[in-house]
Amino acid sequence: MSNALSELTNARKAFGLTHDALAQRAGVSRMTVQRTEAGKIDPRLSTLQVLARALGMDLMLVPKALRPDLEDFIRSGGRFLGQPSGIGAPASLIDELLQPDEAAKKLTAPKGRP
């Protein structure tokens, strides 16, 4: 089963929905839901989209090169706001917010300019 199908199946079960209940919400047949989850059919993208939306989810295509960073971001609960220190990276947003004096200096116009 693909990751997308596995996530949709897990979401359906987490909501306590039967195949029939999800099918009604999504406007597809119960057999479509059952056969899709069982891997007996290769569903259209549009079918996966309506199933996802019926579960309050959305499908998103991500470039392969960005996937590890996106997965890390999601796992962190959205708290991954900067690169690790020590590698020449700019300070993270959190570091900037914790040092308001330094941030204020950056916003001050240079001397001799209005």
Is residue 69's pLDDT more than 90?
no
- Residue spans of the domains in the chain: they are 3-54, 64-107
Query: For 3-54, CATH number?
Result: 1.10.260.40
More confident residue, 97 or 25: 25
Backbone angles phi, psi at 109, to 5 degrees: -65, 145
Identify whether the C-beta of residue 59 lies closer than 8 Å to the C-beta of residue 48: yes
Q: What percent of the chain has pLDDT over 70?
A: 66
Q: How far is CA 32 from CA 38, 53, 56, 101, 110, in A?
A: 10, 16, 19, 59, 65
Is residue 110's pLDDT more than 80?
no
Asked whether the whole model's pTM tops 0.75, one would answer: no
Q: What is the pLDDT of residue 103?
A: 46
Q: What is the pLDDT of residue 45?
A: 93
